[in-house]
Amino acid sequence: MSTSPLYFLAGILTGPPVKLLFRLRATGKEHLPAEGGFVLSPNHLSNLDPWPLGLPLFPHRQIRFMAKIELFRSPLWPMLRFGGAFPVRRGEGDTVAIETAIRLAQEGEVVAIFPEGTRRRKGLVKKHRARPHTGAARVALEARVPLIPAAISGTDRITRLGPLRVAYGPAVELDDLRDRDVREAAQVGTDRLMAAIANLEKTL
């Protein structure tokens, strides 16, 4: 799908500085479908993650992503709307947000969903992280679109002008899950997704 005018303008203005100042590098772009909708699912380090995640797709594709509903009650809401965000009520099992994500993916949009739900706290030991949310796998399964894992690094060190890195991986295998119970299929798909993300993080 085409990009919105504001998204296109933001990409034009921020793309060159990000690539030069933060040395943004992306690998695995060959795994991104050229046409049709898909779910793009990375780790989550910072509120800035959608920025480097989406720039390598610019100008051909615009990512759509969930943002907590509180942000839509702030002065930022026009930028969120035109930037591709849609609201989610975190912690409430927001079926409206899931249904919106499914519809967007079916309409050919790139929907970014962070399975970790919230940003990682610095120094948090991996085994103590909260269990990942199954929304990304569920949306991909119900919309019948690819689930693409991704890994991001550097967004949690943005003030140090450190390099930004993004890696995209091959689609997570979901075809064998489509006849299973939705909850079970989404959980198995999420386990596969998190393993793929962890492997991608090792390459950054």
pLDDT in tens, 115-154: 986 655 544 444 445 689 999 999 999 999 999 999 999 9
| The pLDDT of residue 164 | 93
Q: Treating both helix axes as pointing N-terminal to C-terminal, what angle do 95-106 and 135-143 enclose, rounded to 10 degrees?
A: 40
Say which residues have a Cβ less than 8 Å from residue 36's Cβ, sequence separation at least 6: 108, 145
Pick from 199, 177, 181, 198: nearest CA to 189: 177
pTM, 2 dp: 0.86
| The pLDDT of residue 144 | 97
| The pLDDT of residue 19 | 78
Pick from 170, 77, 98: nearest CA to 141: 98
Low-confidence residues in the chain, pLDDT < 70: 1-3, 71-83, 90-93, 117-130
Q: Which structure tokens are listed for 53?
A: 């995640």
